[in-house]
Amino acid sequence: MRVPRRLLVAATTALLSAAAVGLSACDAGADAAAGSGGAVLKLQDPGNAGPLAYAKREGILEKRLAAVNAKVEWGGSYASFTATADAVHAGSVNVLAGAISPVLGYLANSSDIRVFAVTDPVTDTAAPQTDGLVVPADSPIKSVADLVGRRVAVNKGGRGEYLLLLALQQANIPVDKVERVYLGLDQAASAFATGKVDAWWAIVNAYPQVVAKGARVLVHGRDLPDQDLSIVAARLELLQQHPEAVKVYLDVLRELTQQAKHEPEKFQNVFLQQGPTAITGDRLKLEIEKARYAQVPRLVTTADGAAVTSVSELFARYGVVKDTVAPADVFLLLS
pLDDT in the model for residue 79: 81
Fold equal for 39-121+228-329 and 132-223: yes
335 pLDDT tier (thresholds 50, 70, 90): confident
| 39-46 mean pLDDT | 98
Quickly count: other Cβ atoms within 10 Å of residue 285's Cβ.
13
Output the 3-class SS for 58-121: HCHHHHHHHCCCEEEEECCCCCCHHHHHHHHHHCCCCEEEEEHHHHHHHHCCCCCEEEEEEECC
Which tens digits make up the pLDDT trace of 159-172? 999 999 999 999 99
pLDDT in the model for residue 37: 58
Question: CA 246, CA 234: separation in Å to the nearest integer?
Answer: 8
Amino acid letter at 23? L
CB–CB of 103/320 below 8 Å? Answer: no
Residue 54 phi, psi (nearest 5): -60, -45
Question: CA 35, CA 14: separation in Å to the nearest integer?
Answer: 31
User: What's the chain's Rg over C-alpha atoms?
Assistant: 25
Using alpha carbons, list the distances in angstroms from residue 204 to 130, 188, 250, 283, 287. Answer: 6, 13, 21, 13, 11
pLDDT in the model for residue 109: 85
pLDDT in the model for residue 314: 98
Output the 3-class SS for the chain: CCCCHHHHHHHHHHHHHHHHHHHHHHHHHHHHHHCCCCEEEEECCCCCCCHHHHHHHHCHHHHHHHCCCEEEEECCCCCCHHHHHHHHHHCCCCEEEEEHHHHHHHHCCCCCEEEEEEECCCCCCCCCCCCEEEECCCCCCCCHHHHCCCEEEECCCCHHHHHHHHHHHHCCCCHHHCEEEECCHHHHHHHHHCCCCCEEEECCCHHHHHHHCCCEEEECHHHCCCCCCEEEEEEHHHHHHCHHHHHHHHHHHHHHHHHHHHCHHHHCCCCCCCCCCCCCHHHHHHHHHHHHHCCCCEECCHHHHHHHHHHHHHHHHCCCCCCCCCHHHCECCCC
Enumerate residues 6+ apart whose C-beta is below 8 A from 1: none
Question: CA 81, CA 16: separation in Å to the nearest integer?
Answer: 49
| 42-63 mean pLDDT | 98
Residue 17 has pLDDT above 60, yes or no: no
What CATH fold (topology level) applies to the domain 39-121+228-329?
D-Maltodextrin-Binding Protein; domain 2 (3.40.190)
Averaged pLDDT score across all residues of the chain: 90
| 213-224 mean pLDDT | 97
pLDDT in the model for residue 179: 98
| 7-29 mean pLDDT | 37
- Homologous superfamily in CATH for domain 132-223: Periplasmic binding protein-like II (3.40.190.10)
pTM score: 0.86
| 229-241 mean pLDDT | 97
Q: Which residue ranges make up each domain of the chain?
A: 39-121+228-329, 132-223
pLDDT in the model for residue 171: 97
Which tens digits make up the pLDDT trace of 240-283? 999 999 999 999 999 999 999 999 999 999 999 999 999 999 99
Which tens digits make up the pLDDT trace of 97-144? 999 999 998 998 889 999 999 999 999 999 999 999 999 999 999 999
Which tens digits make up the pLDDT trace of 74-93? 999 988 888 898 899 899 99
30 pLDDT tier (thresholds 50, 70, 90): very low
Which tens digits make up the pLDDT trace of 289-314? 999 999 999 999 999 999 999 999 99
